[in-house]
Homo-oligomer: A and B are copies of this chain.
Amino acid sequence: MQGTTGTSSQPTGTYPPTDRTVPTRSPERAAYDKELVHAILDEGYVCHLGFVRDGAPVVLPTLYGRVGERLYVHGSTGSRPLRMTGAADPGLPVCLTVTHVDALVLARSAFHHSINYRSVVVHGTAYEVTDPEERRTALDALVEHVVPGRSHDSRPANKKELAATAVIRLDLNEVSAKLRTGGVNDEPEDLSLPHWAGLVPLRKGYDAPVADPALAPGTALPDYLSAG
Taking a contact as CB atoms under 8 Å apart, the answer to whether B207 and A111 are in contact is: no
Q: Is A76 an interface residue when CB atoms closer than 8 A count as contact?
A: yes
Taking a contact as CB atoms under 8 Å apart, the answer to whether A212 and B184 are in contact is: yes
Q: Is A87 an interface residue when CB atoms closer than 8 A count as contact?
A: no
Taking a contact as CB atoms under 8 Å apart, the answer to whether B210 and A199 are in contact is: yes
A8-16, A31-39, A57-65, A127-135 - interface stretch:
A57-65
Taking a contact as CB atoms under 8 Å apart, the answer to whether A193 and B210 are in contact is: no
Q: Is A88 an interface residue when CB atoms closer than 8 A count as contact?
A: no
- In the bound complex, residues from chain B placing their C-beta under 8 Å from that of A195 are 153-155, 219
Oligomeric state, in number of copies? 2
Interchain CA distance A206-B202 in the complex, whole Å: 4
Taking a contact as CB atoms under 8 Å apart, the answer to whether A165 and B25 are in contact is: no
Taking a contact as CB atoms under 8 Å apart, the answer to whether A196 and B153 are in contact is: yes
Q: How large is the interface on A (under 10, 10 to 19, 20 to 34, 35 or more residues)?
A: 35 or more
Interchain CA distance A15-B76 in the complex, whole Å: 26
Closest B residue to A97 using CB positions: B59
Closest B residue to A189 using CB positions: B155
Show 12 A/B contacts (Cβ-Cβ < 8 Å), sorted by A. A51-B57, A52-B55, A57-B59, A59-B95, A59-B121, A106-B146, A111-B155, A196-B219, A196-B225, A197-B215, A200-B228, A203-B203
